[in-house]
């Protein structure tokens, strides 16, 4: 059985004291619970990584990053390199989030280079794909998602592909309060797994984890995780409260 991953994307929120308080409250809420069927990850803004790393000391919660450039060093003002993240024991990085694509203009080719860099540095990329409202309404959702997948994963071998994490995040559901129905999400995530099977083989398709993201909250997470192809959640706003995120972490999953 694939181990679930519940990942918090804090986006551009919190200052160091707030981040530390959130981590402390989350650890206190979860207490000494041991989850054998899931992992929990938080991805703070890059400037908060040292503070959060310290606050997580002794916890099983994984520290991740929201973004990464593909070069190790150089004249790339404002960017964060793989080696910088690794210096803080960050081995998971979100790549290709829709906000990076649509606000900052990241192309499929650029995202593919970031994925390649993560793999080359023994990191786990959480690769985001998803369609806009217009693409969804015009019936092009699957076409868009498969194009994004090919751009992001085109350089990977079958063995490498099985070790990544995918996240299906329909753009029309991110930060809008709307969410795909469990049936809509399961249909797309099943299609993503099918595309994995064709591109990378059955073994990779069986082990790759595919998360759902897009206004995930304490009220809808159980129904989403009840679907067999939804292997966890990428959580935005609801991860900024310890109570709501702890509830999501404890969500019931498909047997």
- CATH number of the domain where residue 25 is located: 3.20.20.70
Does residue 246 contact residue 207 with C-beta atoms inside 8 Å? Answer: no
HEC profile of 121-179: CCCEEEEEECCCHHHHHCCCHHHHHHHHHHHHHCCCCHHHHHCCEEEECCHHHCCCCCC
| Domain assignment present for 47 | yes
Mean residue pLDDT across the chain: 95
- Euclidean distance between CA atoms 114 and 134, whole angstroms: 27
Dihedral Cα 53, 55, 60, 64, nearest 10 deg? -30
Structural domain of residue 200, as residue ranges? 4-249
Name the active-site residue from 92, 97, 131, 135: 97
- Tell me whether residue 169 is one of the annotated catalytic residues: yes
pLDDT for residue 177 = 75
Q: What is the mean pLDDT of residues 116-128?
A: 98
| Domain assignment present for 254 | no
pLDDT for residue 244 = 97
Q: What is the mean pLDDT of residues 144-153?
A: 97
Name the active-site residue from 99, 106, 135, 169: 169
| Structure tokens given for 103 | 């606000």
Summarize pLDDT for 57-108 with one digit per residue, the tens.
999 999 999 999 999 999 999 999 999 999 999 999 999 999 999 999 999 9
pLDDT for residue 176 = 77
pLDDT tier at 149, thresholds 50, 70, 90 = very high
- Tell me whether residue 183 is one of the annotated catalytic residues: no
| Domain assignment present for 95 | yes
Number of folded domains that form the chain? 1
Summarize pLDDT for 199-253 with one digit per residue, the tens.
999 999 999 999 999 989 999 999 999 999 999 999 999 999 999 999 999 998 6
| Domain assignment present for 245 | yes
| Domain assignment present for 255 | no
pLDDT tier at 254, thresholds 50, 70, 90 = low
| Domain assignment present for 164 | yes
């Amino acid at each position: 059985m694939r181990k679930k991953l519940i990942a918090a994307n804090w986006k551009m929120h919190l200052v160091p004291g707030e981040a530390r308080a959130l981590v402390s409250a989350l650890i206190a809420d979860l207490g000494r619970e041991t989850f054998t069927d899931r992992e929990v990850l938080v991805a703070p803004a890059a400037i908060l990584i040292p503070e959060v790393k310290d606050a997580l000391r002794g916890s099983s919660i994984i520290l991740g990053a929201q973004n990464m450039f593909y070069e190790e060093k150089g004249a790339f003002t404002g960017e964060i390199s793989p080696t910088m993240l690794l210096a803080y024991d960050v081995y998971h990085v979100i790549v290709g989030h829709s906000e990076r694509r649509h606000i900052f203009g990241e192309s499929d080719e650029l995202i593919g280079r970031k994925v390649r860099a993560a793999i080359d540095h023994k990191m786990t990329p959480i690769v985001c794909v998803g369609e806009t409202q217009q693409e969804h309404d015009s019936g092009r959702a699957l076409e868009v998602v498969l194009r994004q997948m090919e751009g992001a994963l085109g350089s990977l071998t079958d063995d490498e592909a099985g070790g990544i994490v995918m996240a299906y995040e329909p753009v029309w559901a991110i930060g809008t309060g709307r969410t795909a129905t469990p049936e809509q999400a399961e249909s797309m995530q099943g299609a993503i797994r099918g595309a994995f099977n064709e591109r990378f083989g059955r073994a990779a398709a069986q082990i790759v984890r595919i998360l759902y993201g897009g206004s995930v909250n304490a009220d809808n997470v159980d129904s989403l995780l009840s679907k067999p192809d939804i292997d966890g959640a990428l959580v935005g706003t609801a991860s900024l409260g310890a109570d709501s995120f702890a509830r999501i972490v404890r969500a019931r999953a498909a047997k």
